Amino acid sequence: MEFLIHKWKYLKTTEILNVTVMFFSVLFFYLFSPFLSVLAALFFLSLVFESDKVRISILTFIFLSVYSMIIFFKPVSGDWNWYTQHYRALQSIDFLSYYGHTYGPFTIKYTEPVYYFLSFVLSRATGANVTALALVVSTIFYSVFTFSLFKLSKYFSIASWQKNIVVIAAVLLSVTPSLVLHLVRQEMASVLLFCGLVLLLTSNKRSAICFLIVSVFTHQSAAIVLGIFAFSYLLSRIPFGSSWFFAFVVSLLMGLFYVKSGYFISEDNAGKGDGTVNPLVYLYDAILLFSFLFSVYSIKLNPVVKSIFYIFVASYMGFLLGVSPEPLPLLRMYFYVEWFRAFFIVVVLSRMVSFIYFNALSVFILLLGGFYTNYRISSSDLGFPLSIYSFVNRSIQSWMFLF
């Protein structure tokens, strides 16, 4: 409380006006939904604190609240059904009897111990409470993601209060929230990989190596992306023109080998898939890619860093094109495009924050993020009983019922 009073004493006239607008905005949201008013109040409160740790904690709580309809109402089906069955079984099975052995139709891989050990510990600690598993997985995901985005925003010299806008926009407009509790191991591995690469970019090498190692031991697909990044980094150190095109061609051939060799894709899985990518998502990613290329060209960065960006993007595009003949690997590897998406959004917004009307534009960006997230949840094949809109609408109806 003393901290807030101290901040109030030294506010400028424009800042007092901003605080007044925030206060009445919270009241406005309260008329419609207490749920929305609490989230708005938390968001405005996060702008007050200068500590990134406090801001990360507040924003993580906001994300968990927004996606609580997934955490608490997700149907136990698809891959989540498999995860919950094993989670309950670990309450009575010795870990060493489970790890590395066949359980049902699945063989638990020695190369992916991180999630399985976490699931085992949590199962024993909570009596195999499925909600606890969903909450812990979601908390790990959104806290690491938020931390990574703050680091990335700081690298691109985004002003303190604008970081919050950029972070929220990047979360809402990049990842598919319905997959966090579906492709659980891959989601955890991907966010750890993203964090590791961001820490490498910001020169936190020891922490970066730890995150990268843990990501690979969470889901082996992370090793493919990490390998492509390592190839891109090495190629960026070689001074010759059109290195991005060379990287694209080599990665394309690697992708073709991946699906045609028969070593990575079994005959039983050949030609099969467990979903498709919406053409609108391809269009959205193409728009983001061109926006990123335009933005990064005009940003003052180390030429070597820019070269790594270009080569890494070209390499991954080539690899995706190479695996495209097989639906299953295309879908699983296109999944990592979400992290390119998050990176692109931060870069693009880092250019837009200098606009005079960015404050007004940020409202539109956040609303767009809300609509996009709602669309991804409502159009999901996983059968969610609630979207963000229906979740908030139910909150509004419950509030009006009191009157």
- Per-residue pLDDT reduced to its tens digit, 88-147: 999 988 888 888 888 877 788 888 999 999 999 999 999 999 999 999 999 999 999 999
- 146-182 as b/e, with b when 16 or more CB fall inside 10 Å? bbbbbbbbebbebeeebbbbbbbbbbbbbbbbbbbbb
Above 60 in pLDDT, residue 17?
no
**Chain centroid offset of residue 274 CA:** 21
Pick the range with the lowest mean pLDDT from 235-239, 273-277, 350-354: 273-277
pLDDT for the residue 403 = 39
- Residue 19, pLDDT > 60, answer no
Inform me whether the pLDDT recorded for 165 exceeds 60.
yes
Tell me what pLDDT residue 2 has.
52
Whole-number pLDDT of residue 26: 62
Q: What is the pLDDT of residues 294-333, one digit of tens each?
A: 888 877 777 888 888 999 999 999 999 998 888 888 888 8
Instruction: State how far the Cα of 169 lies from the Cα of 84, in Å rounded to an integer.
Output: 31
Q: Which helix (H) or strand (E) holds 102?
A: strand 102-103
How many angstroms separate the CA atoms of 378 and 384, rounded? 7
DSSP type of residue 129: -
> Does residue 10 surpass a pLDDT of 60?
no
Q: pLDDT grade, residue 21 (50/70/90)?
A: low
CB neighbours of 190 closer than 8 A, spacing ≥ 6? 215, 219, 222, 225, 335, 336, 338, 339
Mean pLDDT across 170-180? 89
When comparing pLDDT for 388 and 239, which is higher? 239
* Average of per-residue pLDDT across 165-169: 91
Q: Which residues contact 199 (CB under 8 A, 6 or more apart)?
A: 148, 151, 205, 207, 208, 211
Separation of alpha carbons 42 and 164, rounded Å: 11
The reported pLDDT for the residue numbered 336 is: 93
> In the prediction, which pLDDT does 303 show?
80
Q: pLDDT value at position 195?
A: 97
- Range from 104-113, 150-159, 207-216, 351-360 carrying the lowest mean pLDDT: 351-360
Q: In terms of pLDDT, which residue wins out, 265 or 403?
A: 265
* H or E, element range at 363: helix 358-378
Among residues 246, 254, 229, 242, the alpha carbon closest in space to that of 309 is found at: 229
Every domain of the chain and the residues it spans:
1-48, 49-369
Question: What pLDDT, on the 0 to 100 scale, is given for residue 267?
Answer: 56
How many residues in total does the chain contain? 403
Which tokens in the block code for residue 300?
Answer: 């003052």
How high is the pLDDT of residue 97? Answer: 86
Average pLDDT, the chain: 82
Handedness of CA 18, 19, 24, 27 (dihedral sign): positive
- What is residue 295's predicted lDDT score, i.e. its pLDDT? 87
Place of tokens 């820019």: 306
pLDDT at 29: 63
Residue with the larger pLDDT of the pair 400 and 2: 2
Concatenating the DSSP letter of every residue in 145-199 gives HHHHHHHHHHHTT--HHHHHHHHHHHHHHHS-GGGTTTSHHHHHHHHHHHHHHHH
* Mean pLDDT on 202-207: 90
For the ranges 40-49, 173-182, 260-269, 370-379, the one whose mean pLDDT is highest: 173-182
Residue 20 CA to residue 7 CA, distance in Å, equals 14
The whole-number pLDDT of residue 394 equals 55
CA distance 48 to 205: 31
Percent of the chain with pLDDT over 70: 82
Average pLDDT over residues 350-356: 80
Per-residue pLDDT tens digits for 238-262: 876 678 889 999 999 998 988 877 6
Q: What's the confidence (pLDDT) of residue 196?
A: 97
Asked whether the predicted pLDDT for residue 15 surpasses 60, the reply is no
* pLDDT grade for 400, boundaries at 50, 70 and 90: very low
Mention every residue, 6+ apart, whose C-beta is less than 8 A from residue 227.
none
> Does the structure show a pLDDT above 50 at 399?
no
The mean pLDDT of 24-46, rounded to a whole number, is 71
